[in-house]
Amino acid sequence: MIGVFDSGFGGLDVLRHLRAALPARDFVYLGDSGRAPYGGRDAHTILDFAEQAVERLFEEGCRTIVVACNTVSCVALRHLQQRYCGPGSDRRILGVTIPGAELATQQSAGHIGIIATRRTVESGTYVAEIAKLGSHKVTQLATPLLTPIVEEGWESSDLALLAVDRYLEQLPGIDTLLLGCTHYPLLLPAIQVRLPRGVTVVDPAPYAAGRLVQWLERHPGFDAPVLAGRGSLRVLCTGDPDHFARHGTRFLGFPMPQVEHVAEVDGRLAHRDPADAPRGQVVR
């Protein structure tokens, strides 16, 4: 069973590529939509939320977890790997940052622009990973307005074009643009309209999925289903499950299965039935 974790909806795009590449595998997706966005949060909070999410996915029976969220991959991946995947461990946690850096350096002739959340930019992780692979110039830009625009479903609006414009004009001279946030592939049409000719856009999602497939092929015994997988999918979220199901379809590309609700109880993500929530009437 493969777990996929994101701060919210955006990782469903990574999941879409993973399911296309591994149709017989069973997946559990966890979107922390009730606490998203992560991009403006401090690193300690992100570590804490990320630990709760991977522990929930391990409890669901996952041994391989893909951290689809760029912010978590940049801030917390090493910590998660050290904490849960030490020597002799039968668990594996992978992120999207190294695949993103690999793809960007393969595409770029010399100057890579990165758009991402504030925390991703401040972490410097993409810059460090790209520096390991070549001597490219890298210009990063925090683009915090883009995630809420996508969350609202306004990626085709004038507002999206205006925001993309304002941000891209701050990245002169780039030859490659790395989409360093799970939400930005949905803005591709707006980005492509506004991007100068000749600039290549890099979306790490399909490449990261391909890297996981390669890794599983190199480690055939690892996380192989005892019985052949059925290509099943379970989806958990911490926010409103109906809202998640409605909006998630845009990222997933096909209708979502029923979304299960989990919420933090004493530092762990536990199953919760939203119907049990107190209604808040005042007793007179």
Catalytic residue list: 69, 181
Instruction: Name residues whose C-beta falls within 8 Å of residue 123's C-beta, 6 or more positions apart in sequence.
Output: 43, 74, 75
Q: Residue 61, by phi and psi: left (phi above 0), alpha (psi -120 to 50) or beta?
A: left
Binding flags for ligand DGL, 47-76, as an x/- string (CB under 6 A) = ----------------------xxx-----
Would you state the structure tokens that stand for residue 65, as one six-digit string?
């977890």
Contact segment (CB under 6 A) with ligand DGL among 32-40, 165-173, 223-231, 234-242 equals: 32-40
Site for ligand DGL contains 155 (CB under 6 A)? no
Window 75-134: residues binding ligand DGL (CB under 6 A): 117, 120
**HSE-up of 278 (CA within 13 Å, CB side)?**
4
- Bridging pattern class, strands 268-271 and 259-265: antiparallel
Stretch that binds ligand DGL, among 1-9, 12-20, 162-170, 214-222 (CB under 6 A): 1-9
Contact between 183 and ligand DGL (CB under 6 A)? Answer: yes
Q: From the list 2, 3, 4, 10, which residue makes contact with ligand DGL (rule: CB under 6 A)? A: 10
Distance between CA atoms of 103 and 100, rounded to whole angstroms?
5
Nearer to ligand DGL, 223 or 264 (CB): 264
For the chain, the helix, strand and coil percentages under 3-state DSSP, each to the nearest 5: 45, 20, 35
Rounded Cα distance between 241 and 113, Å, is 35
Q: How far is the CB of 110 from ligand DGL (least distance, A)?
A: 25
Residue 195, CA distances (Å) to 110, 113, 213 in order: 17, 12, 31
- Per rule CB under 6 A, is residue 37 in the interface with ligand DGL? yes
Closest distance to ligand DGL from the beta carbon of 222 (Å): 26
Identity of the residue, 3 or 37, whose beta carbon is nearer to ligand DGL in the bound complex: 37
Residue bearing tokens 């760029």: 70
Residue nearest to ligand DGL (CB): 39
The answer to whether residues 79 and 47 touch, using CB atoms and an 8 Å cutoff, is: yes
Number of residues lying near ligand DGL (CB under 6 A): 17
List of residues contacting ligand DGL (CB under 6 A): 6-8, 10, 36-39, 69-71, 117, 120, 147, 181-183
